[in-house]
Amino acid sequence: MKGLPPFQDIKPEHVEEALDVTLSENRETLTNLLKQKNISWQSFIEPLEAMGNTLSQRWSPVSHLNAVMNNDELRVAYNNCLPKLSEYATELGQNQDLFKAYKLLSEAQESENFSTAKKQVIDNALRDFHLSGIDLEDKNKQRYGEIQKRLSEIGSKYSENVLDGTQAWEKHIDNVEELSGMPQSALGGAKQLAENKNKPGYILNLEIPSYLPVMTYCDNQKLRKELHTAFVTRASTLSPSGSDWDNQAHMNEILALRYELAQLLGFENYGALSLATKMADKTEDVFTFLNELAERSLPFAKLEFEELIQFAKEKDKLEKLEPWDVAYYSEKLRTQKYDISQEELRPYFPVPQVIKGLFEIASRLYGINISSNSNMETWHEDVQAFDIKDVSGEVIAQFYIDIFARENKRGGAWMDECKVRRRDSEGKLQNPVAYLVCNFTPPVGDKPSLLTHNEVTTLFHEFGHGLHHMLTKIDIASVSGINGVAWDAVELPSQFMENWCWEPEAIPLFSAHFESGEALPNEKLEKLLAAKTFQAGMHMVRQLEFALFDFKIHTEYKPDEDFSIQDALDSVRKQVSVVPVAECNRFQNSFSHIFAGGYAAGYYSYKWAEVLSADAFSKFEEEGVFNPETGQKFKECILEKGGSQQPAELFRAFRGRPPTVDALLKHSGFM
């Protein structure tokens, strides 16, 4: 597939056969490559890269469609392919002849003149061979392959259970009085959900655009409790929808397999194994980092929560603040303190204006131009496609935006690769193409989709990932864009982009009232900025809870001990949590980031990279948030370099020094 994916032509019944053909062709190509007597970059690495690129281009659209247009037939085809891909990856990683070829190339005279990027490719490959079990005895190599295959299958099943468990629950409401306090935007969405199913009244479900407004605004405490209970028990035996999608056994097996994998490769635990490809050196460094942040932020979190308890008592004589009350009273407290609410801001953030302003900010910072491309085929009528052009007007990248929630679409927000920038053996350049996915409330009637400021920040975050992928200047796929970037640095460009959501100079670019077109009034802007650090301590310890839990279970798990995931989570909550947790809460059963995504023993990366992004942005605060020279330097030092150099080196090149935690603490209001 040389062009863009023909999404409408991709049929589930063709998927498995197409993958079989591709893997067979790749195996044959590799056999022929390994017959060479004299290995060189051009004769060996370039064909290998081309081989990997072919597989990526054929599989990427299938994997993407499975996430955004899921159906039973595609799910079966997708799951049938996972073991084959896992086996193929294990084959490559344990191919002694392939390993020897890389080693010979690393020692050849030619390598002395390799670019930094080429040297990084070789170094990464040799490292990854060891992490793929190249040094193991045959019996252990076989076991390694079995583990990887099973982890691939079970991770997919975990993700499916979360999706199915989420979609299995909904509540039909006839009487609008039960929804008192809910904003019109949310009522409109609930009414539309009912209309889509030919029912009167309103339908609520556990998708974020439906769930969050209930928790934040609905006066009906009983209803808030019902939705909260359904949400925090998804994919567990306690789910009101039943236990068909319980993930407990899957989590136990995933931890056991990851531990066994680490032991096979000579690591003490999976946490230590995960750090082999990250910036952090030792597991102790990660715990020290997280615990220090907890120590600095916990006093603020406790004060904020005590303030919330007192507020609820004074307002409604509430004797006990329950988990389903926290978001509701937090929003009321925010409104009282700052006279501003997320709903009040919605009319000023219509999706078309937010997207237009986001593109303008990127243009000012990096000298690029973004324009719509109606010729790019998409997978759904809501999806938009765009070109990115450089200062000369040449197209350097393309991307799709799939922004609205719908049935059979995975929840959350993410960026993924459609195509990677690379130059082939004939010198022809393949431009990068990205998928940007969110789950915001769709338009209702003739009114455009209106975002909260929090949702605006989410979109900016994912676009930051996209820019990292699309603005790279590296021509070797394995270190181009986000490829080869240490996982605890991969969030730097995304979190960095969020900063413009809070800048008075930037906000007028992406805000305009959807009816009048007026910019966000100064009075509201000042209130929004004043509320920036509202409950920052509570938000910080919430993220630290996730990160510590993730790292704890992956470093402390032992198969011969009676290890309890719930006990591990409870102990972390005892250490850092200030918000009450319902006894039925089974958050871990739907924590897809670590059990079905790439963040296992790496969720700390969000905070690690936030330190980098806050410190990087402080240079813009010093030199001007739209300073083109500073923007160009960030682009050249961080975005263009991809994974061709170590993140610490790239950060130092941009900032002139190593990162410090001070900027993050200052932005959070802790200094």
Give CA separation, 79 vs 5, 147, 170, 318, 409, in Å: 20, 16, 27, 49, 17
For residue 622, give every residue at least 6 positions away whose Cβ sits within 8 Å of its Cβ, in sequence order, or none. none
Give the single-character DSSP code of 88: H
Query: Among residues 357, 355, 421, which one has the least CA distance to residue 386?
Result: 355
Instruction: Give the mean pLDDT of 460-485.
Output: 98
> d(Cα 461, Cα 496) in Å, to the nearest integer?
8
Instruction: Give the residue among 405, 388, 413, 627 at the shortest CA–CA distance from 500.
Output: 627
**Strand bridging mode 433-440 / 395-404:** parallel
Q: Is the pLDDT of residue 2 over 80?
A: no
List C-alpha distances in Å: 48 to 29, 43, 417, 427, 476: 8, 9, 19, 15, 11
Q: What angle do CA 436, 441, 444 make, to 5 degrees?
A: 125
Closest residue by Cα to residue 380 from 359, 398, 405, 356: 405
Average pLDDT of span 557-577: 95
Which pLDDT score is estimated for 671?
75
Q: Which of 53-57, 142-146, 167-171, 557-561 has the lowest mean pLDDT?
A: 557-561
Distance of alpha carbon 615 from alpha carbon 285, whole angstroms: 19
**Residue 574 burial by Cβ neighbours in a 10 Å radius (0-12, 13-18, 19+):** exposed
CATH topology of domain 248-340+535-603: Neurolysin; domain 3 (1.10.1370)
599 and 550 in contact (C-beta within 8 Å)? yes
Between the alpha carbon of residue 186 and those of residues 16, 83, 665, the distances in Å are: 41, 42, 34
Cβ neighbour number for residue 629 with a 10 Å cutoff: 9
- Dihedral pair phi/psi, residue 16, rounded to 5°: -65, -40
Paired with 423 in beta bridges are: 429
Percent of the chain with pLDDT strictly greater than 90: 96
Strands 170-173 and 433-440: unpaired
- pLDDT-derived band at 606 (thresholds 50, 70, 90) equals very high
Q: Please, what is the average pLDDT of the chain?
A: 96
The residue with greater pLDDT, 213 or 343, is 213
**Which tokens belong to 19?**
């993958």
Predicted pLDDT of residue 628? 96
Instruction: Calculate the dihedral angle through the C-alpha atoms of 151, 157, 161, 164, rounding to the nearest 10 degrees.
Output: 150
What contacts 476, CB < 8 A, 6 or more positions away?
49, 117, 118, 121, 422, 423, 644
Q: What is the CATH number of domain 347-522?
A: 1.10.1370.40
Predicted pLDDT of residue 446: 87
Residue holding tokens 């910036």?
A: 279
7-93+95-131 and 248-340+535-603: identical CATH topology: no
Q: Compute the average pLDDT of residues 309-328.
A: 97
What is the residue whose two structure tokens read 């907890």? Answer: 294
Instruction: List residues with catalytic annotation.
Output: 462
Residue 561 pLDDT: 82
Which sequence spans correspond to the domains of the chain?
7-93+95-131, 170-232, 248-340+535-603, 347-522
**Residue 334 pLDDT exceeds 90:** yes
Handedness of CA 514, 515, 519, 525 (dihedral sign): negative
If you count them, how many residues does the chain have? Answer: 671
DSSP 372: E
Name which of 567, 564, 584 is nearest 575 in CA terms.
Answer: 567
549-574 average pLDDT score: 95
pLDDT band at 1 (very low <50, low <70, confident <90, very high): low
Write the single-letter amino acid at 197: K
The three-state secondary structure class of 403 is: strand
**Residue 156: which of 65, 76, 274 has the closest Cα?**
76
Strand partners, 430: 422
Please tell me the pTM assigned to this model: 0.93
φ, ψ of residue 398 in degrees (nearest 5): -140, 160
Q: Is 457 exposed, middle or buried (0-12, 13-18, 19+ CB in 10 A)?
A: middle
C-beta atoms surrounding 266 within 10 Å: 11
Residue 248: how many CB atoms within 10 A of its CB? 16
What is d(CA 616, CA 659) in angstroms, rounded to the nearest whole number? Answer: 8
Give the residue-averaged pLDDT of 380-406.
97
pLDDT tens for each residue of 176-185: 999 999 999 8
**Cβ-based neighbours of 547, under 8 Å, separated by 6 or more:** 290, 603, 604, 606, 607
Q: Which of 432, 438, 384 is nearest to 414 (CA)?
A: 438
Residue 444's pLDDT band, with cuts at 50, 70 and 90, is: confident
Specify whether the CB–CB gap between 639 and 519 falls below 8 A: no
Q: How far apart are CA 537 and CA 547, in angstroms?
A: 15
Q: What is the dihedral of CA 644, 647, 650, 652, to 10 degrees?
A: -160
**d(C-alpha 617, C-alpha 620), whole Å:** 5
* HEC string for 286-299: HHHHHHHHHHHHHH
539 — pLDDT class (breaks 50, 70, 90):
very high
CATH superfamily placement of domain 7-93+95-131: Endopeptidase. Chain P; domain 1 (1.20.1050.40)
Which pLDDT does position 3 carry in this prediction? 87
